[in-house]
Amino acid sequence: MDSPVRLHWLDPRDPHQPFPPAHLAMREPNGLLAIGGDLSLTRLLRAYAQGIFPWYNPDEPILWWCPDPRTVLEPDAIRVSRSLRRALRRDDYAVTLDHAFATVLEGCAAPRGNSAGTWLGGDMQRAYRQLHTSGYAHSVEVWRDGALIGGLYGVAIGRVFFGESMFSNATDASKIALYWLCRQLQQWGFEMIDCQVASAHLMSLGAVEMRRDHFLHRLARSIDGELPHGTWRFEIEAPAAARHLPA
C-alpha cells in the first residue's frame, strides 16, 4: 500500500520557519507544498522569493503551492492578436500604475460567471494591501471615461513580477493592462512574469510552461538587484488622456 502523503504544517507564530523543498510538493493536486502559517509580510516575501505562493478559499486553512510545470510570460514575448492591436491603438482609454490598488483587488475578488464566491478573501486582500503599502505589490489600472474597466495586480521582487490576478469589465481591458505592464517591465529590465498555472487565456497571450526546477533556477538569479521599489509610475509613454482618468 502506498504511503500516505504528509503535508508540511507551518507554525503561524513563526514567520521565519523554513518552507519545505519544492520537490516535496504533491503531484495531485499539483504543487501543494504546505498548509497553515500566516500571511505576514515576512512570510509572504520569503515565499515569493522561493517560488511559493498562497492560494486557498476563504473557508480553508492557508495552502501554499509550487506547481510543476510553472507558467511564465517573458515581458518581450507577449503575443498581440489583431483584435488586441486594434484595441491598443484606440484613444478611448487611459492606463495607470498603482493608482487604485485596493479597487483592483476588489475587482479581482468579485464573483465571476456563475460563481457566487471568491478565492480572494478578506485575509488575502489585507495581506496584499500590506505588501502594496510596503512597496512590493503593484497594480495596473485601465480607465474609460473616469471608470475603472479592468486591471491586474501582483508582487515584484528583484527582476520578477509575480502575477496574481486580473479582471475585466470591458472587452480586452485586462489584456490592455498586461500589455502595458510588459512594456514597462521591459524598460526596467525584468526577466519574467510568473503566471503560476497555465490557462488557455494566458497561453494565447504568449505564456509558456517551464519545468519547476528550471523556473526556480531562473528565479534565484533574478530576485536580486536594485529595481523600482515603492509606488510605481510609468516611465514609458502610455495612454493617459485626462478625459479618461477619474476626477
> Which triple of cell numbers denotes residue 16?
521565519
In this prediction the pTM is 0.94
Q: Which residues pair with 153 in a beta bridge?
A: 139, 165
Question: What is the DSSP code (8-state) at residue 47?
Answer: H
> Which residues, 6 or more positions from 84, have their beta carbon under 8 angstroms from its beta carbon?
172, 175, 176, 179
Q: Are 109 and 166 within 8 A, CB to CB?
A: no
pLDDT by residue for the chain (247 residues), tens only, comes to 344 456 899 999 999 999 999 999 999 999 999 999 999 999 999 999 999 999 999 889 999 999 999 999 999 999 999 999 999 999 999 999 999 999 999 999 998 765 545 678 999 999 999 999 999 999 999 999 999 999 999 999 999 999 999 999 999 999 999 999 999 999 999 999 999 999 999 999 999 999 999 999 999 999 886 677 789 999 999 999 888 998 7
19 neighbors 63 (Cβ within 8 angstroms): no
First vs last C-alpha separation in the chain: 65
DSSP track, 204-247: HTT-EEE-HHHHHHHHHHHS-S----SS----S---B-GGGS--
Buried b (16+ CB within 10 A) or exposed e, 126-158: ebbeebbeeebbbbbbbbbeeebbbbbbbbbbb
Q: Kindly list the structural domains of the chain, giving each domain's residue range(s) and its CATH number in brackets, ordered by start.
A: 8-67 (3.30.70.3550), 71-244 (3.40.630.70)
Tell me how crowded residue 6 is: count the other CB atoms within 10 A of its CB. 7
